[in-house]
């Protein structure tokens, strides 16, 4: 399931999902002496397959309309604690519905109003599920488990948080894509929520162990997605008041991926991800310095002498003839490139809505393999 071995986890989960249905473990009655264990096996496979399918961007192999078995009681769950089997079953169902209603082929063919309504509906379902969790496991609350005392509970709390954050980020990005022509407070709220959620992902990477049992989506996919989101906010909002904080979160992400590279040498080019922090910081410095230079040049430039008509051309330092109006146009073009996103307002955020699919074409990696993500050949397929 992780980078420590040959990436066959997806194949194993798919085969397990096929077998539990072939054996009839999804039926209400199973002809066996230990029916409860069969049902428990089914719901564990159900959770793994739903998560795998969502992060691969495909429909589930286990249809929810063909499940008759109940979720067995979890004897380990005391009052006030997490019933992990029931919680993951509900979350798996929610992820499947999110893909079906928002990202499936049928969903993307609906008109914009229907898709926005679907986003609102799935957001309400996600928050309703969030409210059913015990307080220590709710993603909005900090993790308060004593380190090492209950590692299973801490791992489950972390997985629940990362799934929740991934769902929120996907819904926010879809809403931004659909409302690109509708500049409103709702649009800004979605961008702020996207930024805060990506920050939460990066903050919680401190709890991730670089071990073989940690699933790939938790180890790499969700953190890298959050890294790209924050990087986009920095690059497209170099003058925003939140940019300095976002760069600090990029530094945290750089530390996480550097730790990954030390723990699992050569398993993935983590140093490439860590360099995003340096790129963003240098870009913001260059843009701000360039803007200050342009502003000082505008302030120090003498007023033109209107008494002398400028009817001809003049030569620049290279000796070529340049129109007088051309200098002003070129300067304004440079300023618009630097300050373009900032014109929407000092407190407003800009986020690009262009999908990556047009760049990648129809090619997608055959498995959840992040080791080739920064392979330049991928971008020219």
Q: What is the pLDDT of residue 189?
A: 92
Task: Choose between 76 and 150: higher pLDDT.
Answer: 150
Q: Number of structural domains, the chain?
A: 1
Q: How many residues does the chain have?
A: 381
Looking only at the bridges linking them, the beta strands covering 321-322 and 314-315 are antiparallel
Please state, as a whole number, how many other Cβ atoms lie within 10 Å of the Cβ of residue 201. Answer: 25
> Shortest CA distance to 245 belongs to which of 292, 287, 198, 213?
198
Q: At what angle do helices 84-98 and 35-56 cross, to 10 degrees?
A: 40
Angle at 212 between CA 17 and CA 147, to 5 degrees: 110
Rounded distance between C-alpha atoms, residue 49 and residue 71, angstroms:
16
**Confidence tier at 247 by pLDDT (50, 70, 90):** very high
Residue 67 belongs to what domain range?
1-75+82-88
> What digits encode the pLDDT tens for the residues 195-240?
999 999 999 999 998 887 888 899 889 999 999 999 999 999 999 9
Confidence of residue 326 (pLDDT cuts 50, 70, 90): very low
pLDDT at 336 over 80: no
* Nearest residue to 159 (alpha-carbon basis) of 252, 30, 48, 245: 48
- Tell me if 13 is assigned to some domain: yes
pLDDT at 76 over 50: yes
Q: How much of the chain, in percent, has pLDDT values that exceed 70? A: 74
Residue 317 scores a pLDDT above 50? no
Q: Comparing 42-51, 125-134, 203-212, which segment has the lowest mean pLDDT?
A: 203-212
Q: Is the pLDDT of residue 19 over 50?
A: yes
Residue 23 lies in a domain: yes
In this predicted model, what pLDDT tens digit does every residue of 255-309 receive, in sequence order? Answer: 998 888 777 665 555 567 778 999 999 999 999 888 878 877 777 665 555 544 4
| CA dihedral (271, 172, 59, 219) positive or negative | positive
Those residues whose C-beta lies under 8 Å from the C-beta of residue 126, and which sit 6 or more positions away, are 94, 98, 164, 167, 168, 171
Q: Is 375 exposed, middle or buried (0-12, 13-18, 19+ CB in 10 A)?
A: exposed
Q: Among 110-114, 290-294, 353-357, which range has the highest average pLDDT? A: 110-114
Lowest mean pLDDT among 15-29, 245-259, 307-321, 352-366: 307-321
Give the rounded percent of residues in the chain with a pLDDT score beyond 90: 48
Helices 324-339 and 270-300: crossing angle, nearest 10°?
140
Distance between CA atoms of 122 and 128, rounded to whole angstroms?
Answer: 10
Instruction: Check whether 67 has a pLDDT greater than 50.
Output: yes
Residue 40 belongs to some domain of the structure: yes
* pLDDT for the residue 345: 60
**Within a domain: residue 102?**
no
128 in a structural domain:
no
**Among the ranges given (58-72, 239-253, 298-312), the one the predictor scored with the smallest mean pLDDT:** 298-312
Would 380 be classed as within a structural domain? no
Residue 142's pLDDT band (cuts 50, 70, 90): confident
Its pTM stands at 0.81
Decide if 70 is inside a domain.
yes
Using alpha carbons only, what angle is made at residue 179 by residues 223 and 193, rounded to the nearest 5 degrees?
Answer: 35
Residue 230 maps to a domain: no
Q: How sure is the predictor about 5, in pLDDT bands with cuts at 50, 70 and 90?
A: low
């Amino acid at each position: 399931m992780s980078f420590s071995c040959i990436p066959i986890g997806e194949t194993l989960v798919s085969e397990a999902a096929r077998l539990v249905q072939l054996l009839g473990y999804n039926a209400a009655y199973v002809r066996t002496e230990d029916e409860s264990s069969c049902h428990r096996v089914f719901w564990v496979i159900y959770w793994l397959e739903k998560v795998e399918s969502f992060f691969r961007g495909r429909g589930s192999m286990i249809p929810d309309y063909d499940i008759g078995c109940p979720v067995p009681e979890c004897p380990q769950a005391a009052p006030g604690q997490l019933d992990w089997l029931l919680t993951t079953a509900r979350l798996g169902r929610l992820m499947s519905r999110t893909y079906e209603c928002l990202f499936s082929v049928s969903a993307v063919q609906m008109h914009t109003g229907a898709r926005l309504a679907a986003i609102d509906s799935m957001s309400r379902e996600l928050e309703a599920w969030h409210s059913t969790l015990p307080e220590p496991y709710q993603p909005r609350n900090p993790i308060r488990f004593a380190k090492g005392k209950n590692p299973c509970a801490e791992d489950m709390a972390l997985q629940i948080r990362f799934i929740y954050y991934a769902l929120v980020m996907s819904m926010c990005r879809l809403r931004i894509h659909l409302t690109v022509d509708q500049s409103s407070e709702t649009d800004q709220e979605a961008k702020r929520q996207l930024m805060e959620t990506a920050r939460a992902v990066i903050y919680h990477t401190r709890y991730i162990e670089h071990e073989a049992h940690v699933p790939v989506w938790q180890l790499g996919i969700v953190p890298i997605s959050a890294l790209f989101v924050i990087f986009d906010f920095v690059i497209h909002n170099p003058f925003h008041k939140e940019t300095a904080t976002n760069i600090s979160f990029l530094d945290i992400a750089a530390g996480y991926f550097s730790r990954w590279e030390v723990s699992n040498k050569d398993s993935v080019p983590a140093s490439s991800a860590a360099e995003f922090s340096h790129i963003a910081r240098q870009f913001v410095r260059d843009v701000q310095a360039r803007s200050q230079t342009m502003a000082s040049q505008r302030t120090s430039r003498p007023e033109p002498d209107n008494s002398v008509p400028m009817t001809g051309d003049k030569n620049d330092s290279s000796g070529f003839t340049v129109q007088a109006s051309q200098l002003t146009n070129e300067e304004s073009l440079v300023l618009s490139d630097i300050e373009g996103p900032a014109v929407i307002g000092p407190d407003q955020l800009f986020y690009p809505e262009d999908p990556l699919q047009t760049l990648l074409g129809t090619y997608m990696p055959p498995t959840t393999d992040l080791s080739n993500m920064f392979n330049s050949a991928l971008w020219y397929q």
